[in-house]
Structure 1
Amino acid sequence: MVLGLALRGLAMLGYRPALFFWADSFAYLESAARPVPGAFRPLGYSLFLGALAPGPGLVLVTAVQHLLGAGLAVAAYALLVRRGLPGWGATVLVAPLLFDEFLILLEHMVMADALFTALVAAGVLVLLRRRVTPATAALAGLVLSLAALTRTVGVVVLALAGARLLLRRTGWRVWGAFAVAGLAPLLAYATWMSATSGVFGLTRADGLFLWARTATFADCSVIRPEPRLAPLCPDTPVAGRPAPPFWLWAPWSPIKKVHGDRNALAGRFARAAILAQPGDYLAAAGSDLRWLLRWERTTSREAAMKRTNPYWFPFEERPLKPSVRPVAEAYEGGPAATRIHEPYAGLLRAYQRFGYLPFPLLTLALAGTLALAVVRRRGDALLPGLAAAALIVAPSFLAGFDVRYVVPAIPLACLAAGLALGPRSRRLSCGNVPA
């Protein structure tokens, strides 16, 4: 813990007040000042930023996020030890939570990932208690609902948790408490969205993201879309098409030519493409998942020096663009551009070259954990294991792969491994119903 906090201290001292991620960070800050449901992301993280706004600016945000990361390691360690794992074994399994540089990087960034990671892992941890009562089930449902309002992929984990409670035959009071607490915030937010935009949902971009996914393989000679959807047909040969994000954000994207409800039209095109080309859809998602076989998670140091890689602790300072500076400085109450201070930043940059859990090891460990959980009939390991797998796989099918999307699965994978490897414990219970 001391060493893990020391690494976070280097981030706090070396990169002040925080790191920014392209335009996303400033969109979150703008929504924190004017919280209205937006098109591309739910408001959960912006509300978190707004709650911290009376404090000393972005330094408080990064400090809280670092503490959430360290606290998550403590909670995971405590649960594994209480489940009978020796202290040294629990320490080994939670070490990635303390020492993975990518987790530390995201904790120091004005982005939703650190908060989402803490919320989704906390919700699963609550359900892994030996005795799940209606009160603890409601707490888990509420926390996982907040995770979904931070990043919409959290809905998948909420559904997995609900299915797990059903399979354990917990009784209607436990499952009902979980369902009410988990669904009420989502319904309330969707109602708010409907009142402000006329769309009942968590975002107004699910169709756009799915269209960008299908744009990498869509063949309109096979799909035969209706005339209104024809402008969404990519005209670039499949072999030369860029990744999904380019189709969503690039100025040359066909989506820019569409008039009317772009999200609804894009969603209709995407569903038609998937039904007409299911094999190509699976192949495109599988191709994205090949990133999991790459030992280095990010590009080279040379690319980082050219400012093309946001997933490195930067080597040089970068001024904020005039278009985003006002919103950042309004939140900070003064200059907000990241200032680099040596030697702290240099030590962290040296550490990031090797201080991470490679994705091939994570993937292999997670697959082995799920297999071991089935063989040993360790049902308690399946919830965090399947949740980790869902967080890794789902984005490639719904939007596109990004190495950032894999990181929230690390705590869940470590939890699953500890529960699968640990000694067989007493039977768990939910209220008065045997598990």
Structure 2
Amino acid sequence: MRWREALRPHRAFLVLLAAGAALRALAVLGYRPALWFWADSFAYLSSALDLRPLPSRPSGYSLFLWALSPLHSVTAVVVVQHLLGLGMAVCVYALLRRRTRLPGWGAALAAAPVLLDVHQIQLEHLVMADLLFTALVVAAVTILLWRPRPGGWLVVVALLLLGLATVTRTLGLPLIALALLPALFARRWRTALAGLAAASAVLGGYAVWFHDAHGSYGMGGSSTWLWSRTMTFADCAVMKPPRDLAVLCPSGPRLAAPAYIWDARSPIQRVKKDRERLAGEFASLAIRSQPLDFLATGLHDALWAFEWDRRPYPSPGPQSAYVFPASVKPFTSKVASGGRTAAELTTAYQGASGGTRVAEPFAGWLRAYQEQGFLRGPLLAVVLLAGLAGVLARRWAALLPWTAAMVLLLLPPLIAAFDHRYVVPVVPLACLAAGLALGAPVAPVASTGSSARTAAGGRRRSASANVQADDGGRVVPADRAAKA
């Protein structure tokens, strides 16, 4: 039948897609209704219920939860997130098949980490902003690279998606600049301006919403996170801070960066007024006084992404390996966010408490798989090096996803802390860059002219006649298509 012939070149990917869907089904069946990250998950849920931006972080994910709230189901939320995860793999595969000569199995291999990495699946099952952010970024990059020279409307849609990604996690802001660079280098001023306007409309609209709730324009970033990062290297003897900032100087043994926010021994706990302002000024002074220490500390922590095993505690202090657990503690009466407990928040969202229930044997099968079913750190390094090799070889299509992957890998350890949760969004972009680097690019089809064109137009028609689409939908020379 015709549909079988059409699917035949994609058999390898379809097998992997089915395996990825099966693993996600185990997550949905084994951990009901979702996994929660204390207390961030409940802060997002509280913001979705009140439809009010959070003061300490962007609330684009809360808008996502609000949009899905008519379903009255946390399970529906994670199912949508799992579908977005599968959609990212489809983007990687489809783009590689369109823009390169990679065979079906090669493009499927590039998409495999997105489909089969258990930590990707765990992130999809977590009520957190990271999955939505990653899906928006991958969709934007796919749109920008779908054609060698994307039209103005494609650029506008892509920048609109990156604007939405930025109000989900502020890491999207440098990606907006990266996405605009190709149009600027090509001197496509109108296209660049239209794309910038689209992203600015999203950011500006969010800033107005934030102002309406909190009295100032912003996106809810917290200077405390950057301050905690600088506390791992700050030397007040070098910085010579003024008296009002000296109270924030580190004392005693150094802690992991996140511990400086929560630990009772942290200097920030002694500050009662103007905490955000003082933390921001201290961090700025530390970076200006010790720029090399700032860079060395962040880059050193980023290297943890390339270790063979994902250690739960790569440094002293709280960390998480982000795995599917054997058991989950029930909700307690502790306030989670907005003056409400976790049970109260989840009940308001779906009509019943959302405490996680571990259901066997599905959860056990998934835990057995996660012992080996993930992309090891050295393999991620190889994938990133393959993308870099393509950039150096002037495979320019690989440049955008590779630079975006490096931004997402390096920026969090520089401005906040290393966390394995921040490494997962790097993988689909890195795999896409590697595929674009290793696969020979497909030559664009020359356009056919009208019968009134000149001989030059006739030559273009001849060139167009010498290319055909193979059974995978890619454009190849006619003689190669005939052999296939």
Q: If the TM-score is normalised by the length of the shorter chain, which range does it land in?
A: over 0.9
* Mapping for residues 54-93 of structure 1, pairs under 5 Å: 54-83=70-99, 84-93=101-110
Please name the residue that 1:395 is paired with: 412
Task: In structure 2, give the amino acid aligned to 1:255.
Answer: I
1:258 aligns with 2:275: no
1:116 aligns with 2:129: no
- Do the aligned residues in 2 keep the contact of 1:35 with 1:43 (CA within 8 Å)? no
Please name the residue that 2:286 is paired with: 273
CA distance in 2, matches of 1:252, 1:428: 65
1:44 aligns with 2:44: no
CA distance in 1, matches of 2:445, 2:181: 17
1:371-395 Cα distance to aligned partner (Å, 9 max, x none): 22222x1111000000001000001
1:34-93 Cα distance to aligned partner (Å, 9 max, x none): 122222211100110011111041010010000011111112211111123211110111
Please name the residue that 2:225 is paired with: 209
- Do the aligned residues in 2 keep the contact of 1:18 with 1:59 (CA within 8 Å)? yes
1:354 aligns with 2:367: no
Count of aligned residue pairs for this structure pair: 417
Please name the residue that 2:25 is paired with: 9
- Do the aligned residues in 2 keep the contact of 1:204 with 1:263 (CA within 8 Å)? no
- Do the aligned residues in 1 keep the contact of 2:48 with 2:65 (CA within 8 Å)? yes
- Do the aligned residues in 1 keep the contact of 2:311 with 2:321 (CA within 8 Å)? no
Aligned residue for 2:413, secondary structure, equals: helix
Offset of residue 310 of structure 1: 5.7
Please name the residue that 2:39 is paired with: 23
Match among 229, 251, 265 for residue 245 of structure 2: 229
CA distance in 2, matches of 1:284, 1:162: 30
The more displaced of 240-249 and 100-109 is 240-249
1:318 aligns with 2:349: no
Provide the aligned C-alpha RMSD in A.
1.8
1:237-258 Cα distance to aligned partner (Å, 9 max, x none): xxx3111111112233212222
CA distance in 2, matches of 1:140, 1:273: 36
1:388-433 Cα distance to aligned partner (Å, 9 max, x none): 010000011111111100100111111111111111333699xxxx
Runs of 5+ in structure 1 lacking a partner?
301-306, 430-435
Higher relative contact order (CA 8 A, sep 6+): 1
Please name the residue that 2:470 is paired with: none
Please name the residue that 2:361 is paired with: 343
Q: 1:59 to 1:123 in 2, by over 3 A?
A: same
Match among 164, 169, 176 for residue 146 of structure 1: 164
Match among 169, 183, 195 for residue 165 of structure 1: 183
Task: In structure 2, give the amino acid aligned to 1:217.
Answer: F
- Do the aligned residues in 2 keep the contact of 1:191 with 1:200 (CA within 8 Å)? yes
1:87-140 Cα distance to aligned partner (Å, 9 max, x none): 111011101110000110010110111111101110111100214111111100
Q: 1:350 to 1:124 in 2, by over 3 A?
A: same
Aligned residue for 1:313, secondary structure, equals: coil
TM-score (norm: length of structure 1): 0.92
Give me the identity figure in percent. Answer: 49
Runs of 5+ in structure 2 lacking a partner?
1-16, 336-341, 447-484
Structure 1 runs of 4+ aligned residues shifted over 3 Å read 307-310
Offset of residue 152 of structure 1: 0.8
Aligned residue for 2:331, secondary structure, equals: coil
Offset of residue 147 of structure 1: 0.6
- Do the aligned residues in 2 keep the contact of 1:298 with 1:311 (CA within 8 Å)? no
- Do the aligned residues in 1 keep the contact of 2:310 with 2:321 (CA within 8 Å)? no
- Do the aligned residues in 2 keep the contact of 1:145 with 1:183 (CA within 8 Å)? yes
Match among 401, 405, 408 for residue 384 of structure 1: 401
CA distance in 2, matches of 1:261, 1:427: 58
